[in-house]
Amino acid sequence: MNEPTDPKNPTGSTESAQPLDTRVLTRTAEHLADRYAGVFSPDLVERMVFESYAALSRTARVRTHLAGLAGHFAADRLAALAHTRNAGAGPQQYAVPQVLFLGEHDTGRAQIAAALLADHAGETITVRSAGLLPGAALEPLVVAALAERGIGTEDLYPKPVTEDVVAGADWVITFGTLHGIPVPAGATHQDWDVEGVLEADPDMVHAVVEELENRVQALYEQIRARPPAHLRG
């Protein structure tokens, strides 16, 4: 989760980003720096973008769209950081409750729960998922089960857990254990005992989705009834 010393060599090795990716990442950093002008320095934004690229590249099977995904990942991390700092400018994502679903690989339960909550809450809650050991892609049966509910998965991808995303969370939902991840002061932690979906059959995946649907609905009502203290008017 540490930032690279050289953002143009984000992997921290002799292998740097491809020239085309570097150009895309640089343009992304410029756009994000403009969006967060007065909130974050351009250097911090650039480091975040290239670090996000490095983090995703470690597990990416296909690198065609890696630079674009890194831009989305960096934007999400910057929004979390802005929420943590209670920034007075920039995008309004920091002004709503933030929920983080933390799984082992971010390919199954965490992604399902995050997608379901985002579907329920719309823009009233910012929802994220992350994995301690992120996989390369969502489980195919998870993609199919969400599609059956009309939830698109084209923008979903496994992400590593980072300090900024954890620190920005008002609710942290885990599946089994925190694995030493510190819950931010003032945040609410819940651990959900829900069966995993790795190598599960379609019936098991559907059962997990149904259980998570019920839990997500309950969580949504809890958040609506009692939003985080720092966001109460």
Q: What is the pLDDT of residues 22-36, one digit of tens each?
A: 999 999 999 999 999
Work out whether the CA dihedral 222, 159, 198, 116 comes out positive or negative. positive
Q: Are strands 188-191 and 98-103 parallel, antiparallel or unpaired?
A: unpaired
Token readout for 51 is 């670090």
SS3 category, 191: strand
Task: Give the residue from 64, 94, 124 where a domain finishes.
Answer: 94
Residue % of the chain over a pLDDT of 90:
74
90 and 205 together in one domain: no
Confidence category of residue 14, pLDDT binned at 50, 70, 90 = very low
Token readout for 81 is 């950081």
Quote the pLDDT of residue 71.
97
Task: Give the residue from 66, 94, 122 where a domain finishes.
Answer: 94
Polymer length in residues for the chain: 233
DSSP string, 120-163: HHGGGSEEEEEESS--SS--HHHHHHHHHTT---TT----B--H
Confidence category of residue 2, pLDDT binned at 50, 70, 90 = very low
Confidence category of residue 13, pLDDT binned at 50, 70, 90 = very low
111 and 18 together in one domain: no
Quote the pLDDT of residue 139.
94
2 and 54 together in one domain: yes
135 and 188 together in one domain: yes
Q: Is the model's pLDDT at 223 over the cut of 50?
A: yes
What's the domain range around 106? 96-233
Per-residue burial over 179-192, b if 16 or more Cβ lie within 10 Å, else e, is eebeebeebbeeeb
Contact 108, 86 (CB under 8 A): no
209 and 112 together in one domain: yes
Distance CA 33, CA 27 (A): 10
13 and 62 together in one domain: yes
CATH number at residue 5: 1.10.8.1060
101 and 6 together in one domain: no
Cα 79 to chain centroid distance, Å, stands at 11
184 and 78 together in one domain: no
More reliable by pLDDT, 85 or 44? 44
**This prediction's pTM:** 0.88
176 and 115 together in one domain: yes
Give the number of domains in the chain: 2
Q: Is the model's pLDDT at 62 over the cut of 90?
A: no
Task: Give the residue from 52, 79, 94 where a domain finishes.
Answer: 94
16 and 114 together in one domain: no
Q: What is the pLDDT of residues 86-144, one digit of tens each?
A: 744 445 555 799 999 999 999 999 999 999 999 999 999 999 999 999 999 999 999 99
48 and 130 together in one domain: no
Contact 79, 94 (CB under 8 A): yes
105 and 182 together in one domain: yes
CATH number at residue 110: 3.40.50.2300
